[in-house]
Amino acid sequence: MRRRIAIVASHPIQYHAHWYRELARAEDLDLEVLYCHEATQRDQAESGFGVDFAWDIPLLEGYRYRFLKNAARRPGVSKFGGMDSPELRGIIIHERYDAVVVSGWHTKSYWQAILACRECGTPVMVRSDSHLHDDRSTLMRLAKWTPYHYFISRFDACLAAGTWSREYFLHYGAKPERVFIVPHCVPKQPAGAPDAQQLQTAREAARRQWDIPRGATVFLFAGKFIARKRPLDFIRAVATAATGNPAVYGLMAGDGPMRAEAEALTAGLRAPITFAGFLNQRAIQPAYAASDILVLPSDQDTWGLVVNEAMIHGRACIVSDRAGCGPDLIVGCEPDPINAGCETDLINEDARTGFIFPTGDVDALAGYMVRIADTPGMAERMGAEAARLIGGHSAAAAVSGLREAVAAIMENG
């Protein structure tokens, strides 16, 4: 029997379309995605990307969807009131879906969907990668406890992206048997991927494009130039590491309000860094080819899908201890605040896919950069392991997780 599933989403997101297409191909599921906002090129710039653009990959192909009218006075995706979808109630009541997935609870539209489901008895599943490791005050945590415990414990199923988000749901009262792992995923490399010689040629061409010196060990920052992504930490770490090993080099792909400040700091520190500017989904492929390791220094990243993307390209990663993906994707090392190294807590040298460092600890980050640059073959070995590990965080695994959740709520009511 095919189960009719609706996903209520904010707007088309480049990392989610792949999962939607895989769900649409499932013979036992009948999917419809309900978008609450149609983002403009200006919306993309204002969300932190820093430039007006449209994604250069198809985000609306391969699955059924509809855009809802956004009745918000000031439409947008970054504030609770930026999405207001009055028609959701009528759609959910009329369509009688077997279950509705809401992509969180931080917008008015999501609550409109949740309340409509409650009104007509449709099961509600919520997908989230929220975790408890953000820098929140005790007062804020206490203020959230009662309301969050009230509504999270009443969801029919909670779809967690990974270890930390599962712990989050359980912390706020979700029953363990109602929490299901639906991992974040990004598309695989295309069929007929290039052979080793072609990859090397692409790597050399990309490095020439950005004037990267021969023999450099290249660390990539790929993201918005905004405060929570901490691009200045990356710059300071590259500058520090380069004094320890001159092979250390930085490549920064992205744009945003901190771009000028970042360039000024780079010039002031004489850090060996190239700024590639904003790179769309197709244009960023050469950046992965040119680099050896991705760095995610963010202090607020509920997951960090750029890490999945880097691993798909065979790149290991260094991430902060606030990145939600750390426990699931960075295998073999946990942060050591005393020694800023992994020697004391190494799990398996061969299984390591990267390093985790204390957020804001530039010296620890620089230390890992030097260690990788000093160790021949380390980046390649970790990258190969990262590529193997990320295979388990696939669209097929995400479909399986959702299917398991649907079966559970249909069986238990």
Q: Output the pLDDT for position 42.
A: 62
Query: What's the CATH number for 3-185+394-412?
Result: 3.40.50.2000
Predicted confidence (pLDDT) per residue in 32-58, tens digit: 999 999 976 666 545 556 666 566 678
Q: Output the pLDDT for position 192.
A: 46
Query: For residue 195, what is the DSSP state?
Result: -
Q: Output the pLDDT for position 335.
A: 45
| CB atoms near residue 293 (< 10 Å) | 24
Q: Are 316 and 248 in contact (CB under 8 A)?
A: no
Predicted confidence (pLDDT) per residue in 18-35, tens digit: 999 999 999 999 999 999
Chain Cα centroid distance, residue 38:
21
Q: Output the pLDDT for position 412.
A: 74
Domain boundaries, the chain: 3-185+394-412, 196-390
Predicted confidence (pLDDT) per residue in 155-199, tens digit: 999 999 999 999 999 999 999 999 999 999 998 765 445 556 677
Percent of the chain at pLDDT exceeding 70 = 89
* Mean pLDDT on 272-296: 93
Q: Inform me whether the pLDDT recorded for 201 exceeds 80.
A: yes
Q: Is 382 helix (H, G, I), strand (E, B) or coil?
A: helix
Chain Cα centroid distance, residue 257:
21
Closest CA to 318 of 230, 244, 397: 230
Q: Name every residue whose Cβ is closer than 8 Å to that of residue 337 and which is 6 or more positions away in sequence.
A: 358, 361
Predicted TM-score (pTM) of the model is 0.89
| Residue located via tokens 């901190």 | 258
Predicted confidence (pLDDT) per residue in 108-140, tens digit: 999 999 999 999 999 999 999 999 998 777 888
Written as one letter, the residue type at 157 is A
Predicted confidence (pLDDT) per residue in 203-243, tens digit: 899 999 999 999 999 999 999 999 999 999 999 999 999 99
Percent of the chain at pLDDT exceeding 90 = 77
Superfamily classification of domain 196-390: Glycogen Phosphorylase B; (3.40.50.2000)
Higher pLDDT, 191 or 390: 390
Higher pLDDT, 269 or 140: 269
Q: Output the pLDDT for position 43.
A: 62
The yes-or-no answer to whether 3-185+394-412 and 196-390 have a common fold is yes
pLDDT band at 342 (very low <50, low <70, confident <90, very high): very low
Which H helix or E strand runs over 11? none
